[in-house]
A and B are shown apart, each in its own frame.
Chain A
C-alpha cells in the first residue's frame, strides 16, 4: 500500500547513568497508524510522547524494537535503501547542515550524496531554493550560520524536497518560526499535498495543524490515544459545543431550566451584567438543536436575546481533553 502504514511499533531507549545504573525509556509502546496516499496526517502529542522517535523510525534513521512500518509500500527495516529513495525528511529545523557552507552548497552536497550528477545536483538545488523562497531572499549563497530560524526551516524543507519524494516526514517544521514564515511553510506543505504527496507532520500548534491536516493521531507516552479526521476526533471525544448568550428580561434560572427542557446541559455559568445577563453553557446537543432550543425559549418567555454565539470545539480542546490541560499549547 502507498502512503504510510505503522503496525504495533515499539521502541525502547536504554541509556547508562553512571557505571551500573541503566535508564530505560519506552518511547513507543505499540503504535499503529495509517496515512493514506496524498494525505496530510498530523502526529500530535506532548514533548516526549514519541513523535520524533516514530518519524526517525519511518525515516530509517532508527531501528524499531518490534512491529512493522511501511513507507510507500517498502518495509523501513528490510528495504531501508528503497525507503530512503521515496522520502524527504525534516528533523530539527534549527540545525542539520554544515555551518560554514551556504544553503546552496549544503544542498549540492546532499544531492551528490543522493547520487545526482554534479550538473543535476546544482540544477535541482537551485530549483528547490527558488521553491522555498531562499533564492529570492538572496540567502542561497550566504553561509548557513548567518541564517535566521525561518531561513533554516525553509532550507530544511528544500532539502526534503530535493529528490522530489512522494512521501514527506516533517518533524515540527514550523517550530520557532515567525507568523509570516510559518504561514509560508504551511502553504508550501498544503501545495505539496495537493500535488499528491503523502505528508506526515508533527507539531504543537493546534491552530496550524487544524488548518492543514486531513487526519490526526494523538499519541501520549508512546501510545496512540485517538486517531481520525479533526471532526471525527472531536465527536469521538464527546466534545461539547460552547454556547454564550446575553439576554435581557426574566430571571436566569428560569431560562436555564427552560433550555434544559429542550437539550441536555453539562455545565453552565451565569454572569449578571449591568442591564443584562451573560449565560455560558456546554452541551453535547447538535448546533441545530441548540439554535432551536434558544428560539423556543425566546418564543415562550418574555425576554430579549442580545447576543448568541455557538462555538465548535477546537482541535486544541480535543488535544487538551486527551492529554490534559498541563500539556496544552
Chain B
C-alpha cells in the first residue's frame, strides 16, 4: 500500500529533521548571507542605487532597495531546493541500495516502483518548507502581511518545483544505482545541482544565459521556477502562476513516467539478481 510507504517516509523525514536540525540551520544562514551579498557586494565597487537600478533594468521592473532584496532573498529558495533535493534524493537512494543495504528491508515490504514514487514526493515535499523556512520571518519583516502572503505563494512554486525535481533526481538515482558501477554518486549529484542552477540563470533572467547552459537546465522546470519566483517577488500573485503550474505538471508527468519505468525495470533487475 502506497499510504504505508508515505507514512513511513514521513516518519523517517521527521526523525532526520530532528537529528539534523543543525544542518538545516546552516542551509538557512548561508542563503541569507548569499542574498545579502548579491545586493550589497556590488555596491562596494559602485553604490547601492546603481545596483538597484541595474537590477531594475535587468528584470524590467522598477525596484527600490527593499524589493531588490526581497527578490534576491526569494531566489535563494530555488538555490536551496535544487541543491538539497537533487543531492539528497540521489545520494539517499544510492546509499540505501548500495551502502547501507536498507534496500532489502524496502523490497521485503513493497516494490521499488512504489517506494521510488513515494520517496520522490515525500522527501522534497517535507524538505522544501524546512529548507525555506527562513524566508517567512524575513519577508514578513520586510513587507508585513504582504511578505507572508508572498512567502505562501513562493512555497507553492517551491513545492511544485521540488516534487518535479524529486522525480527527476529519482530517475537519475535509479540509473546510477542499478545501471552503472559508479561508487561515488556525489561526484555526479554535486555537479548536477550547480549545472541546473547555472543554466537556469537564477540571479539573471534565463534569456541572458548562454544557450549551451540553458539547454541542460531546460531538462528541468527550474528555469520556469526562477521566472515565476521573480514574478511573485516583484508582483505578488502573477497570472503566469497557472502557466508555470501547467509546465511543471507536464515536466512532472514526464519524470513520473521515466522514473516509473526505470524503477519497474530496476525492481525486476534486482529480483532477478
Give chain A's interface residues, CB within 8 Å of chain B: 11, 13, 27, 53, 56, 59-63, 84, 89, 91-92, 95-101, 105, 108-110, 112-115, 118, 143, 159
18 A-B interface contacts by CB (under 8 A): A11-B273, A13-B273, A53-B273, A61-B107, A61-B271, A63-B272, A95-B101, A96-B105, A97-B100, A100-B20, A101-B16, A109-B11, A109-B15, A110-B8, A113-B105, A114-B109, A143-B19, A159-B105
Partner among B12, B101, B270 whose Cβ is within 8 Å of the Cβ of A109:
B12
State whether the Cβ of B102 lies closer than 8 Å to any Cβ in chain A. yes
**Contact between chains at A112 and B271 (CB < 8 Å):** no
Partner among A100, A112, A159 whose Cβ is within 8 Å of the Cβ of B16:
A100
Partner among B15, B104, B270, B271 whose Cβ is within 8 Å of the Cβ of A96:
B104
Q: A109 to chain B: which residues have CB within 8 Å? A: 8, 11-12, 15
**Contact between chains at A115 and B271 (CB < 8 Å):** no
**Contact between chains at A63 and B271 (CB < 8 Å):** yes
Residue of A nearest to B10 (CB): A112
**Contact between chains at A61 and B102 (CB < 8 Å):** no
Q: B104 to chain A: which residues have CB within 8 Å? A: 61, 89, 91, 96
Given the known A-B contacts A96-B102, A112-B4, are A62 and B272 also in contact in the complex, defined by CB atoms under 8 Å?
yes
Given the known A-B contacts A100-B16, A118-B7, are A61 and B108 also in contact in the complex, defined by CB atoms under 8 Å?
yes
Q: A110 to chain B: which residues have CB within 8 Å? A: 8, 105, 109
Most central of A60, A62, A98 by chain B CB within 10 Å: A98
Complex CA–CA separation, A105 to B101 (angstroms): 17
Min CB gap B181→A, angstroms: 10
**Contact between chains at A115 and B11 (CB < 8 Å):** no
Min CB gap A237→B, angstroms: 32
Complex CA–CA separation, A112 to B273 (angstroms): 27
Give chain B's interface residues, CB within 8 Å of chain A: 1, 4-5, 7-8, 11-12, 15-16, 19-20, 100-102, 104-110, 270-273
Complex CA–CA separation, A99 to B5 (angstroms): 19
Min CB gap A199→B, angstroms: 17
Partner among B12, B107, B270 whose Cβ is within 8 Å of the Cβ of A98:
B12
Complex CA–CA separation, A39 to B19 (angstroms): 42
Q: A100 to chain B: which residues have CB within 8 Å? A: 16, 19-20
Min CB gap B17→A, angstroms: 12
Complex CA–CA separation, A177 to B16 (angstroms): 30
Complex CA–CA separation, A328 to B70 (angstroms): 72
Q: A108 to chain B: which residues have CB within 8 Å? A: 11
The 8 A-B residue pairs with the shortest CB-CB distance, nearest first, are A112-B8, A113-B109, A113-B8, A115-B4, A95-B101, A63-B271, A112-B7, A13-B273
Q: B15 to chain A: which residues have CB within 8 Å? A: 101, 105, 109
Given the known A-B contacts A98-B102, A109-B12, are A59 and B108 also in contact in the complex, defined by CB atoms under 8 Å?
yes
Min CB gap B44→A, angstroms: 41
Q: A96 to chain B: which residues have CB within 8 Å? A: 100-102, 104-105
**Contact between chains at A118 and B100 (CB < 8 Å):** no
Complex CA–CA separation, A257 to B21 (angstroms): 83
Q: A95 to chain B: which residues have CB within 8 Å? A: 100-101
Residue of A nearest to B19 (CB): A100
**Contact between chains at B11 and A118 (CB < 8 Å):** yes
Given the known A-B contacts A97-B100, A112-B4, are A60 and B108 also in contact in the complex, defined by CB atoms under 8 Å?
yes
Complex CA–CA separation, A288 to B76 (angstroms): 87
Complex CA–CA separation, A98 to B8 (angstroms): 13
Complex CA–CA separation, A150 to B173 (angstroms): 33
Q: B4 to chain A: which residues have CB within 8 Å? A: 112-115
Q: A112 to chain B: which residues have CB within 8 Å? A: 4, 7-8, 11
Min CB gap B118→A, angstroms: 10
Most central of A113, A115, A118 by chain B CB within 10 Å: A113
Supplied contacts A110-B109, A112-B7, 10 more A-B pairs, CB within 8 Å = A59-B108, A84-B108, A84-B109, A95-B100, A96-B105, A100-B16, A100-B19, A113-B4, A113-B109, A143-B19
Complex CA–CA separation, A89 to B106 (angstroms): 12
Complex CA–CA separation, A60 to B272 (angstroms): 11
Complex CA–CA separation, A63 to B273 (angstroms): 8
Q: A53 to chain B: which residues have CB within 8 Å? A: 273
Residue of A nearest to B181 (CB): A16
**Contact between chains at A101 and B12 (CB < 8 Å):** yes
Q: B271 to chain A: which residues have CB within 8 Å? A: 61-63
Complex CA–CA separation, A243 to B105 (angstroms): 50
Residue of A nearest to B103 (CB): A96
Complex CA–CA separation, A109 to B122 (angstroms): 14
Partner among B8, B101, B270 whose Cβ is within 8 Å of the Cβ of A92:
B101
Q: A61 to chain B: which residues have CB within 8 Å? A: 104, 107-108, 270-271
